[in-house]
Each structure stands twice: as C-alpha cells, then as structure tokens.
Structure 1
C-alpha cells in the first residue's frame, strides 16, 4: 500500500507541474538548447565509462568524435520556426491526466514490484570479468608479438578463437593471419582464417577470403570447413548447382557419421529448393540414425575420434533416430528393448520407463507360443 501511495503522489505532483507549467509563461529553452545539453551529457558519460575501464580508449575516442560532430551540426542548424501556442492549459490538463493514467495501466500490465532488479554487485562483477578477459587477451597478444620466434602456434590459435568468441572478427582474422603465412600452416589454420575473414564481412566471401579458402582446399580437399566455405563462395557467385554439388560430394565421401553432416544437409537442401533437387536425409549418410541398428565398427571407430560433446551428440542422435523409427513400427520388440537400455545408460529414467511399457505391450501382442516372449520378459525384468 505504501508503494501505491508513493506512486500516486509522484503522479499527482508531475501532473501539477505539467498543468500549471503549460498555462504559465513559456520556457525560454529551445530544442537546440535541449540537444546541446543531451550531447554534452553523453560526452560526460563516455569520459566516465573510459575512466572506469568499461570501454577502451579507442572506443571512447570514436564515440567522442561522433558526439562532437553532432554538436557542430546542432550549432550550425538554424532555429526552427516558432511553435504554435494554441491552448497551453488545455494541453497541460490533457497530459496531466493521460501521463499518470498510461503509466498506471502499463505498470499493471507488465509491472512486478515483488521482483528485485539485478543487483549492482552482479552487474559490476560481470563488467569486471569482461574487463579481465579483455586485459588477459591484450596481454596474450603482446606476449605473442614480442616473442622473437613469432610466438607458439597454439597461442595464436587461442588468441584468434578468443577474439571470435568476443565477436572481434577483424582481430581474430589478424591473429589467424599470423599463423596462416607460416611455413607448415595446415588446412585447418587456413579455414579458421577464412572463417574469421567471412565473419568480419558479415558472411560475405571476399576475394581475399576466397584465396584463403583455395589454399585450405589445396592443402586438404577433404577439410569440411574449407568445402563448406567454398560452397558458400560459389553460392554468392550465383553457381547454386555447383555450390550444392560440393556439399553432396563431401557428404558422399564421408566415412561414417560426422558431426558436421547436419549443417551440410541443411545447406544442401536450402540450395536444392532453388535448383529443384530432391531434399537429402541424414539417414542416407548415417543409417543408424533412422534404422535402429547397432553402430558398425566404422561408426564406433569414428566416434572414438570425436570430441566428448560430439560423441555424446552422436549417441543421442542414434537413440533419437531409433525412437522415431519405433513410433512408426511399434511392434518391433527388439527395438524397444534396445531403446530402453539406451535410455538407462543415458540416465533418462522416465524415457526408459516409457520404452519398457511399450516393450511390454509389444510382448503382449506376440502369440503365446512365440519363443521371444520369455527372453524378452526376462530382459524387461532385468534378469
């Protein structure tokens, strides 16, 4: 109740200022004066942010130049025509009622006084963390540049990837360029360099990026990243058929399931909508995702070379593919038992219980003399 009394008091006070202000002597401040005041405040804010370390000196200087340019523009602008006076008191009365009413309605719609705002300590901690990352990144760059031997490749990779994560794509391109020109730079380094160049141009493959892509392809024609960016370049050149063919050819040459396949298929199908080609399905290249079979030796070998997160995605994809197939083939008893065991391994207890229920239903649909009934029931009972 206290909060509402306070809000009502503030609304009435502001309304009184509006009402009596419009009926009295007109203010002498012009729109030019207001613009100058706002821009002056912005200059002060930029200086304060720079002093607190929230923005770099270069960023502050750029902002100050832009604000000063606007100040000069305001100073040169001729004064606008005098405003129509009309009925000032009538306008003031309208605003005195409308502004508080609109504020109350908006507050009732989206307000939540019981929800606390973000603590200033949390905001300060996040800014401090960002400043620390920026400082460490700058220190790493300084060390690499001061190294008489040019700095270790791993350091430049870390620097480039950090810049990519920060969205500083031009800096990332510079870091990867330091490695790309070295003797022995492999296809992976070249494709990372190309990725940064393309990101810096908002997805446009520039001639410089195209040359880097060509180097990556020359070093390893099977590099998926290089093939993908080459396809992107060909698409931007208008060669849609060639762009799609590059993706399909790389998919066809893959040995077992690979994490990048879904991206390739999505891009190929997007291009196929324009070229009139039939859409591709992931099960064409990874049958275990839709066929419900156990992975082959080649699949297992490929999974061993994956990063942990990619390996988990591989397993999850197989399980989800099996589950999707069983929805179309609910009588596949062996499939339900495999799915139940997979869910148990993944710790998905609710899904495992559901698969066990579906498996029991499949057992119940078998003839009484079916030899699969007894071993299936034992498997379901954990025996």
Structure 2
C-alpha cells in the first residue's frame, strides 16, 4: 500500500513539471485558425469516405462539401498567427503546483484505486457526446453483458459518425449473441466506414454472416458487391447489384443509391446503363424497345462522354414517344427511374407525376411519386410541397397502415403543428421496426424531437 503512495507522488511531480515547462516557452505561437482548418479537413475526408460507402447521397455530399469549403475560406479573413503571451507568475504557481495538489487531495477523498482503469482509447470519449449516448454508455456499464444495450449504443455511435466506436460496440454485441442479420450487416458497415470505405476481411465476414442469417438481406448484398468492385471484379459487382435491384421493392429507400452504383459501374464497363427503365414490354415500336445489338456495340466503342450523350439521347427518345403517347403508364415509370439514375430530380418528379395521375389507385406508384417530390430536400421540418401533402393523403386513403405512408403522414402532421398526431403515426412505424434496426434509430431521433423539452 505504501508503494502506491510513492507512485502517486512521483506522478504528481512529473505532471507538475510537464505543465510548467510549456508555460515558460515564449517562442511558441498560437494559431486558432489552424486547429479549425484541421477539423474541416477531417470533415472533408469523412465526407468522402461516407460518399464512397454509399451512406450519403451525391447531392447531399456536394452541399456539405460546399459548406465546409466556405468555412475553410472564411478562416483566411482573420489574423493568421500571434505570439503566445507569457503567463503571470501567479498563474504558473497555480498550474504547476496548486492544481496538482488539489487534484491529489480530491483523489484522497473520492478516489477508488480498487477499480480497474478505463483507457482513453475511444474517439467517443474524446468528444462532447449527446446526452442520449451518455445514457446508453451508462446502460452498458450497468449491464455489460446485455447485447441489446450494446446494439443500441452501437447504433447511436453510428448515427453520430463515430464509426470506430460503433464497430467496437457492434463487435461486443455480436460476441454476446446479437447475431441478427440487421446487426451483423450494421457491424460490417461500421467496419467498412472505420476503414476509410475500404472492404476489410472482418467487414466481409460480417456481411457474409448476415447473408447466412438472411440470404436476401439488402445491405449485406449491396456491400459485398461493393467489395467485389473494390477487388477489381466490377462485372461481378454489377451483376450482384442488378440482382438486388430486381429483388428490391419500388419504394425501397436504398434504390436511389443502388441505381447510382449500377449506372456508374455500367459506364465504367462501357455499357449504356442496365435497367435504366428505358426498354420494356409496353414499347410500341423498334425505336421504343430499347437499344439494339448495334446500339450496344456502338456504345462499347464510345468514350465516356459519348456514352453519356448516347444514354441521354435514348432517354430523350423515350420522352418524345411519351409526349405522343401520354397514356403509357409503364413508360412514365421507366422514364422517371431513368431520370433518377441520371440525377435529373425535377424531370423524375414530373414523370412520376404523370404516372401517379394515370394510376391514382396504385399505392406503389403514389409512393414513388411522393419519394420523388421530396428527394434531396433537407428542410422537411419547415416546408413540404403541396403536391406532396396531396399525395400523402391519397396514400393514407389507399392503405392507412402502410409504414412509409405512416412516416409521410407524420411529416405532414409535424409541419401542421399537430405533434400528437405525428407521434401517433410514427409510433406505429417504430412498433414494426426491429429493435436493432438503423431505421428505427433514425426515426426514434425524429420522434424524440417532438417530445416537450425537459425543464
């Protein structure tokens, strides 16, 4: 026991010296802008990793990049450097002697040398955390063998962009028996993001375990295909992505990201964009039936710019045909999806509006139209287009219990100031989502924002 007091005394003395030495160095310079610049650079790198992993839509990534670059430019407006001021002798005494002694005395009062140390290894510990994460950390500390608590903490870390901490927490949860397909896939994604978007063997193993638990799991299939692309097997990746697209519902939230990867892979392989929705059985003639073998052969010999122009021309021909045949429902749907792949949001909304008007009783089409109306918007808590509100009313009439319709209905109720109705609708969605679902965590955060602020 005496030995520990000698160790503590030595540590206190060393700490005092280390605190004092920098204070006497007048040659140091301070640059507050430099620290901010490093933070912004890290944010840009994180943004690039999330975009590569398909976690952020390209238009949202572009908006975020512009904002970060604006802040970087703003740093040049202030003074760059200023010399550090030499502190007063009283401050030196306080920093070098009094503070360590006070800390030592406080430890004598409340210290617990019998408890194991807690390493400062996690990036989450190095940042100010939201109260929700702190509460989840406390829950895990109270019940370290509770796999559900670890899953909840991991999802919270992931939502806060703390990928390494999320991967660690998911790993704990999996080790404790949380081996649902959703948890394993989320674990793999956290490992992927923590590794700068590069597929590692642990991430690949997590995704494969997710598929073993649920062979059709969309997230696992998507990222395993991404791993094939990174390994150089772009043909295999494209085949896997197209199979996933064929199995995905029209209102699946991942369709837009999936179609973007399909279009990008097709372009790199010299193809005209598989399943862009241009060809189909309702086409009424040779020009509407899609690219011929000669068209494809010609496209393979084109430069990327020429191929893009070729695809745009095909979409243009479909649009011209629909102008002459405006009652072709399937044609409008294919055109809308083609515009989505090309990133032409407004044109996609107009095409889906035509389809929705032709089939007001088709729930899937109304959902497609509603999604197209708000795609890319970041102000849904402040504004909803009138056509979106009208479409949501139709969706709620067609199927009052449709989960996506319930969510959209909650958006409308929130904007109208009817928080109770928004909570009622969103609670129905939460009740249907798995406890460890990332979608549940995201919706829970929106639900909690409706609760009255604590006094």
Output the TM-score relative to the length of structure 1: 0.44
Higher relative contact order (CA 8 A, sep 6+): 2
Larger Rg: 1
